[in-house]
Amino acid sequence: EVAKSYAGKAKIGKLEVDQNPAMAKKFNVMSIPTLIIFKNGEAVWQGTGLHQKEALEKELNEVIG
- Confidence at residue 65, expressed as pLDDT on a 0 to 100 scale: 82
**Domains along the chain with CATH numbers:** 2-64 (3.40.30.10)
Element (H, E) at 42: strand 42-48
pLDDT digits (tens, 9 = 90+) for 1-58: 899 999 999 999 999 999 999 999 999 999 999 999 999 889 999 999 999 999 999 9
Task: Write the CA distances from 19 to 2, 16, 24, 43, 62, integer angstroms.
Answer: 24, 6, 10, 21, 31
